[in-house]
Each structure stands twice: as C-alpha cells, then as structure tokens.
Amino acid sequence: MIDKKKNRQKRHRKIRARVFGSSDRPRLCVFRSLKHIYVQAIDDTKGTTLVSASDKEVSKENKTNTAFAVGELLAKKIKEKKIKNAVFDRGGYLYHGRVKALAEGIRKGGIKI
C-alpha cells in the first residue's frame, strides 16, 4: 500500500541531510496542510526560529494566491532582521503549486533563495 505521508517524510529526510541554515542564511522550512500553509526561518546553528509566517496573517483568496502573499510577508519580516539570503527547505513537498507560489513570493519580496 502506498503511504503518501511516509514517502513525503522520506523525501524530507533526504533534503534535510543537505540543507542547513545559519544566522546570516536561515533555512526556510515549509509546512503545507490541506487548509493552511506555514513557513519559518530557522537558524540551525542555534536551533532557533528567527521569524515565521502563515496564511492566518494574510487575507485569503485562493490557496495559491494566499501562499504567494505569505511568501511576501515572510520576506518583509526577514528583511527587518537585515537578512538578504536564505536556503529553501520545501519539506519533502513537490516544488509545484502552493510551494512554488510561496517561493516566488519570497523572491519577489527581495530575498535570494
């Protein structure tokens, strides 16, 4: 039997083995549920979350546009911390749809990923 959750977790472990965030280049970790999308900037050297954003903080249109707005909001919060670069951790999700829109919103906000 195919288990989508286990397959995603397996992909996520492979990604996490290569992706590492620091204070000047944090890891942008994505979590996507059926209704919401969350993203946080994590400093892996200290093990702390620098900033976070979710779709609960922006107005909701459709899921893709909401994810784009969350990306722009996170980029604004990261810029306030004087950070220009970040590493994108898609969390085992395919780079498609909401995850792609989130990344494009972060880039449009001025963060290089």
Query: pLDDT digit string (tens) for 59-84?
Result: 888 999 999 999 999 999 999 999 99
What proportions of the chain, in percent to the nearest 5, are helix, strand and coil? 40, 20, 35
Q: For the chain, what are the domain ranges?
A: 4-108
SS3 state at 87: strand
What is residue 55's DSSP assignment? G
What is the rounded distance in angstroms from the CA atom of residue 33 to the CA atom of residue 45? 27
pTM of the model: 0.88
* Domain 4-108 CATH assignment equals 3.30.420.100: yes
**Number of residues assigned to the chain:** 113
Across the range 27-42, mean pLDDT stands at: 93
Could you write out the DSSP letters of every residue in 64-77? HHHHHHHHHHHHHH
